Amino acid sequence: MAFRQKQAVLDLAVKHFKEFGLPLDIDFKSYTTIVGPKEAIHAVSVKRSFKGWKYLVHAVRLKHPELAEKPKPEPKPVTPKVPTPAPKATVKPAVKPAVKEDKDDE
């Protein structure tokens, strides 16, 4: 009888995940507010069948992989732009300082 209860809870969870389009990383409190307290799975049922919400979500992920979020496509590789070399400034040779010859020595 435990297996039938567990399967019934799992089927109801799958139905709610599909119907309301819930993500698989949702917590129980958010699930209850979205689905509504009257329609949502009771916390006691989750605890008896799966011992916790995270185990129920994991079972949903395993039994129905189509509900798992599809991975985002990889972004296109960005080709690095080769910087255009800046025009080189022509280097002028250093100007030699003019040497004044002293004519006083004569």
Question: What tens digit of pLDDT does each residue of 3-61 get?
Answer: 888 999 999 999 999 999 899 899 999 999 999 999 999 999 999 999 999 999 999 99
pLDDT higher at 99 or 48: 48
Separation between Cα atoms, residue 79 and residue 94, nearest integer Å: 42
Q: List pLDDT tens digits, range 48-71.
A: 999 999 999 999 999 988 887 666
Which uninterrupted H or E stretch holds 38? none
Residue 83 inside a domain? The answer is no
What is the domain range of residue 12? Answer: 2-42+53-67
Phi/psi at 34 (5° precision): -75, -50
- pLDDT for residue 105: 53
Residue 23 inside a domain? The answer is yes
Alpha-carbon radius of gyration of the chain:
37
How many domains does the structure of the chain reveal? Answer: 1
- pLDDT for residue 4: 86
Residue 19 inside a domain? The answer is yes
Residue 33 inside a domain? The answer is yes
Name every residue whose Cβ is closer than 8 Å to that of residue 17 and which is 6 or more positions away in sequence: 24, 60, 64, 67
Residue 85 inside a domain? The answer is no
Separation between Cα atoms, residue 45 and residue 32, nearest integer Å: 13
- Residue 104, SS3? coil
> Per mean pLDDT, which range of 25-29, 53-57, 88-92, 100-104 is the poorest?
100-104
Residue 86 inside a domain? The answer is no
Residue 95 inside a domain? The answer is no
Residue 36 inside a domain? The answer is yes
